[in-house]
Amino acid sequence: MHSRCEPYTMRCVALVLLLLTVIVPVSWGQATGSVLDLDRASMLRQNTTLGALLSAEPIPTDDAVDPTVYRVGPGDVLSYQTTGLDFSEKMVMVTPENTLLLERYGMISVAGQTLDEVRSAIIQRVQQQAPGIEIFVTLRKPRLVYVTLKGNVTFPGTYAVPASMRVSTLLAVTRQPWLLRRDGSPSDDLRRMGASTAFQAATNELARAVRPDLTPYAMRNIVVRHRQGVSLVDLALSSLPGGARFDPHLREGDVVTVPFDSEEVPTISVSGAVVSPTTLAYKVGDRASLLLAVAGGPLQDADLDRVLLVQSSGGGAQTLVVDSTLTIEGADVPLEPGASIIVERRAYAGEPVRQGVVEVYGEVARPGTVVIEPGVTRLAEAVRLAGGPDANASLALSYVVRPEMTVPSERELEDRGNRRFMYSDLTLEDTLRYRMDQMYRLPFVSCNVEAALRDTSGSNNITLQHGDIIVIEDTPSRVYVYGQVHRPGFVTFSPGKTLRWYVERAGGFGTGAETSRARVIKGRSNVWVEDRDAIVEPGDEIYVPRPPDIPASVEIQTYAAVAAIASAIALLATTFITIFR
For residue 203, pLDDT beyond 70: no
> 3-class DSSP state for residue 165?
coil
pLDDT at 31: 43
263-284 residue pLDDT tens:
667 888 888 888 888 888 899 9
What pLDDT shows up at residue 4?
A: 53
The phi and psi torsions of 489 (rounded to 5 degrees) equal 150, -165
Task: Answer whether residue 329 shows pLDDT above 60.
Answer: yes
Q: Which long-range contacts (CB under 8 A, 24 or more apart) does 229-236 make?
A: 233/167, 233/168, 234/283, 235/167, 235/168, 236/280, 236/290, 236/293, 236/294
pLDDT at position 46 over 80: no
HSE toward the beta carbon, residue 558, CA cutoff 13 A: 6
Using one digit for the tens of pLDDT, what is the confidence trace for 7-36?
A: 666 666 665 565 555 454 544 444 444 434
The per-residue pLDDT for range 392-447, each reduced to its tens digit, is 888 888 889 887 655 555 666 666 666 666 667 767 666 777 777 766 677 888 89
Q: How far is CA 514 from the centre of its chain?
A: 53
Q: Which of 51-65, 288-302, 552-566 has the lowest mean pLDDT?
A: 51-65
Q: What's the pLDDT score for residue 185?
A: 38
pLDDT at 496: 87
More confident residue, 321 or 435: 321
Name every residue whose Cβ is closer than 8 Å to that of residue 529 and which is 6 or more positions away in sequence: 519, 520, 521, 522
Q: Confidence band (pLDDT; 50, 70, 90) for 386?
A: confident
Q: Band the pLDDT of 213: cuts 50, 70, 90.
A: low
| DSSP line for 47-85 | HHHHHHHHHSPPPP--SPP-TTTPBP-TT-EEEEEESSS
Task: Report the percentage of the chain scoring pLDDT > 90.
Answer: 19
pLDDT band at 225 (very low <50, low <70, confident <90, very high): very high
In the chain, how long is the greatest CA-to-CA distance? Answer: 209
Q: According to DSSP H, which parts of 448-496 are helical?
A: 449-454
- Please give the full DSSP string across 170-222, using - where no structure is assigned: HHHHTTSGGG--SSS-HHHHHHHHT--HHHHHHHHHHHHHH--S--TTGGG-E
Same CATH fold assignment for domains 268-348 and 478-544? yes
pLDDT at 379 over 90: yes
Domain ranges of the chain: 1-40, 77-141, 144-258, 268-348, 478-544
Cα–Cα distance between 310 and 316 in angstroms, integer?
Answer: 7
Lowest mean pLDDT among 77-81, 312-316, 322-326: 312-316
The CATH number of the domain covering residues in 478-544: 3.10.560.10
pLDDT at 181 over 50: no
Task: Name the CATH topology of 77-141.
Answer: wza like fold (3.30.1950)
Gyration radius of the chain's alpha carbons: 42
Answer for the pair 81, 136: CB distance below 8 angstroms, yes or no.
yes
**Of all residues in the chain, what percent carry a pLDDT higher than 70?**
73
Q: Per-residue confidence at 115, pLDDT binned at 50, 70, 90?
A: very high
What confidence tier does 6 reach under pLDDT thresholds 50, 70, 90? low
Q: Report the pLDDT value the prediction gives residue 70, as an integer from 0 to 100.
A: 92
Does 116 score more than 90 pLDDT? yes
CATH topology of domain 268-348: Outer membrane lipoprotein wza fold like (3.10.560)
Q: Please determine, for residue 2, whether its predicted confidence score (pLDDT) is greater than 70.
A: no
What does the pLDDT read at residue 184? 34
Q: Return the pLDDT at 15.
A: 59
pLDDT score, position 76: 92
pLDDT at 148 (0 to 100):
93
39/258: higher pLDDT? 258
Q: Mean of the pLDDT values across residues 526-552?
A: 80
Provide the strand spans (E) within 531-575. Answer: 541-544
Angle (deg, nearest 10), helices 186-193 and 197-210: 170
Range from 67-76, 161-170, 197-206, 368-377 carrying the lowest mean pLDDT: 197-206
Is pLDDT at 204 greater than 50 in this prediction? no
Q: Which residues contact 530 (CB under 8 A, 6 or more apart)?
A: 519
CA 48, 49, 52: angle at the middle one, nearest 5? Answer: 85
Q: Give the number of other CB atoms < 10 A from CB of residue 196.
A: 10
Residues 524/399, Cβ–Cβ less than 8 Å: yes
What pLDDT is stored for residue 175 in this prediction?
56
* CA dist., res. 104 & res. 250, Å (int): 32
Average pLDDT of the residues in 531-551: 80
pLDDT grade for 549, boundaries at 50, 70 and 90: low
pLDDT at 255: 95
Q: What is the pLDDT of residue 546?
A: 81
pLDDT value at position 21?
A: 56
pLDDT per residue over 494-531, tens digit each? 888 888 899 899 999 988 788 888 888 888 777 888 77
- Whole-structure pTM over 0.85, yes or no? no
Q: Flag whether pLDDT at 177 surpasses 70.
A: no
Q: Read off the pLDDT of each residue in 103-110 and give the average, rounded to a whole number.
A: 88
Whole-number pLDDT of residue 422: 67
The mean predicted confidence, pLDDT, of the chain is: 78
149, 256 Cβ separation under 8 angstroms: yes
| Mean of pLDDT values over 558-581 | 83
Residue 533 has pLDDT above 90, yes or no: no
- Split at pLDDT 50, 70, 90, the class of 43 is very low
Distance, in Å, from the CA atom of 317 to the CA atom of 369, rounded to the nearest integer, reads 14
Name the residue with higher pLDDT: 262 or 379: 379
Question: In this predicted structure, what is the pLDDT of residue 179?
Answer: 37
Task: Report which of residues 208 and 358 the model is more confident about.
Answer: 358
Identify the DSSP state of 531.
Answer: -
